[in-house]
Amino acid sequence: MTSAPVIVALGSNLGDSPRILLRAMARLEELSLEPLRKSSLWRTAPVNCPPGSPMFVNAVVALKPQAGETPERPLDLDLIAFGDEARATEQLALPHPRAHERGFVLRPLCEIAPDFIFPGQSKTVSQLLADLPPDECMRRLERSTDSSEARST
């Protein structure tokens, strides 16, 4: 992976969420010029969702995109960072303005880029994660490199 990866958070809370994320990762792998770096799948509590919302499955990937490619997707993909680029427009904020506060982004990202520092931050991903309170609802389902049925660990 180059020093300026594109980091994407994936999340799903409807249907077969682990399978949806694994399929999305496979598609993103096709769009990357280099091997995709993938976190485990994580079961997490909904954040800023209506009461009674189903639990989420989250993961993070890092890739080097091919020019002009835009993946089709039936799930939530958040562009978390694009190397060291920082911008804030109506259409795009980089890095994601709350990524550094969200365990469902930081824990998977820590698996693939623990020393990454978001533009505008001074702490690494692992340091930011250590500063967050424990999330008793978040648990690893499986390593994303395992294409079999998702299992809790």
pLDDT exceeding 70 applies to what percent of the chain?
A: 84
Residue the block writes with tokens 């998977």: 108
Residue the block writes with tokens 């993909």: 77
The mean pLDDT value for 43-66 works out to 89
- pTM exceeds 0.85 for this model: no
For the cut 70, the answer to whether the pLDDT of residue 53 exceeds it is: yes
Q: Is 41 helix (H, G, I), strand (E, B) or coil?
A: strand
CA atoms within 13 A on the CB side of 67: 0
- For residue 40, tell me if it sits in a domain: yes
- For residue 148, tell me if it sits in a domain: no
pLDDT at 4: 66
Domains contained in the chain, number: 1
The mean pLDDT value for 111-127 works out to 94
- For residue 1, tell me if it sits in a domain: no
Q: Taking a C-beta distance cutoff of 8 angstroms, is the pair 18, 146 a contact?
A: no
The mean pLDDT value for 136-144 works out to 77
For the cut 70, the answer to whether the pLDDT of residue 108 exceeds it is: yes
What contacts 24+ positions apart, CB below 8 Å, involve 93-96?
Answer: 94/119, 95/119, 95/120, 96/9
pLDDT at 1: 39
- Compute the mean pLDDT over every residue in the chain, rounded to the nearest whole number: 83
CATH at 82: 3.30.70.560
Instruction: Give the confidence band of 70 by pLDDT, cuts at 50, 70, 90.
Output: low
Reported as a single tens digit per residue, the pLDDT across 74-85 is: 556 788 888 888
Residue the block writes with tokens 């792998």: 29
The range of the structural domain enclosing residue 64 comes to 6-143
Higher local confidence (pLDDT), 42 or 151: 42
- For residue 153, tell me if it sits in a domain: no
| Sign of the torsion angle spanned by Cα atoms 134, 130, 46, 20 | negative
- For residue 149, tell me if it sits in a domain: no
For the cut 50, the answer to whether the pLDDT of residue 73 exceeds it is: no
Q: What is the DSSP annotation of 7-31?
A: EEEEEE-SSSHHHHHHHHHHHHHHH
- For residue 132, tell me if it sits in a domain: yes
pLDDT at 153: 46
For the cut 60, the answer to whether the pLDDT of residue 28 exceeds it is: yes
- For residue 21, tell me if it sits in a domain: yes
